[in-house]
Structure 1
Amino acid sequence: MVQQQPYLFNETVASNIRIGKPDATLEQIIEAAKAAYCHEFIEKLPHGYETVVGEGGATLSGGEKQRISIARAILKDAPIILLDEATASLDPENEVYLQRAISKLAYQKTVLVIAHRLKTIQSADRILVLDQGRIAEAGKHKELLEKRGLYRKLWQEQQRLGGWKLKRKSM
């Protein structure tokens, strides 16, 4: 499971990744970190994989914590993955890395994604649209857009909001 706000323990980076597989070697941890696009920033930490990250991962950015959480899940190699708003509140650069890492994590697995940002699920095999706790629509992205229902309305609204720009006031 990869949550919107992943929790990291007041341990080393290696220990936090190793939670996914307690008997993992350092080589396996590094391999998972590379697949999650976090090896590069980990190497730049004061003690690399032996850097203590603080309670809740206090010394890392939200995107860095997310990628370590993905590395943990990659190392675990579970057949079913639950992503609970995993890309919410990330800056664009971290979102790109996280999407790439999720693609590696999800390869040949069953993945359940909970998302409000529809862009993150548009390539899903099947999308379930919930409304008031019930399934309102189901299908692929293109099919749901063609239905002209709730999904299409939400998609259009997110596209409209995603294109806003600040204008300077003329004097």
Structure 2
Amino acid sequence: MLFHDTIENNLRVAKQYVTIEETQLACKKANIHEYIQSLPHGYKTSVEALGSSLSGGERQRMGLVRMFLHDAKLFLLDEPTSNLDSLNEGIILKSIYEERKDKTIIFVSHRDSTLAHCNRVIHMESNRVS
């Protein structure tokens, strides 16, 4: 969910006292830093100014930036790459897997590529768990 504010402030929701350097690093991990830099006002660009030009994948990557900024020990990611092409998916999953050291990350996904590096995969289908 994005609020009617700047991109920078939308990302700060995850961590109130975050530096621009931390924000930019998180954006690089989510592979959206270059896109934001290409905007006329960069991180100060208003989300409203982008209107419908902001794709589902770009919105999804901004949500993932929040995850990279947040210092939680547990994350539940429901279809975290569903709106992304395979290139962006690969970049972001690599970043997520590098971040998982002391964290528990639960993925909900229909994509085998998303689950490929998970320690444990639980399949649920037709009311059965395997």
Q: Establish whether TM, by shorter chain, passes 0.5.
A: yes
Unaligned runs of 5+ in 2: none
Structure index of larger Rg:
1
2:122 maps to 1:120 = no
- 63, 66, 74: which one pairs with 1:69? 63
Structure 1 residue 55 displacement after superposition: 8.9
> Relative to structure 2, which stretch is displaced further, 105-114 or 10-19?
105-114
Unaligned runs of 5+ in 1: 1-6, 138-171
Structure 1 residue 61 displacement after superposition: 1.9
> Relative to structure 2, which stretch is displaced further, 111-120 or 100-109?
100-109
Map of 1:144 onto structure 2:
none
Contact 2:29 2:91 in 1 (8 A): no
Task: Read off the aligned partner of 2:16 and give its amino acid letter.
Answer: P
Matches within 5 A, 1:102-121: 102-121=96-115
Map of 1:84 onto structure 2:
78
Distance 1:68 1:110, change over 3 A: same
The structure with higher relative contact order (CA 8 Å, sep 6+) is: 2
RMSD of Structure 2 on Structure 1 (CA): 2.2
Distance 1:36 1:8, change over 3 A: same
Map of 1:59 onto structure 2:
53
How far apart are the structure 2 equivalents of 1:58 and 1:91? 19
Map of 1:149 onto structure 2:
none
Map of 2:2 onto structure 1:
8
How far apart are the structure 1 equivalents of 2:51 and 2:127? 33
Could you report, residue by residue, the CA deviation over 1:77-134 in whole angstroms, capped at 9, with x for unpaired residues? 2111111011113223332333233234434310101011122102211111112344
Structure 1 residue 30 displacement after superposition: 1.7
Task: Read off the aligned partner of 1:98 and give its amino acid letter.
Answer: I
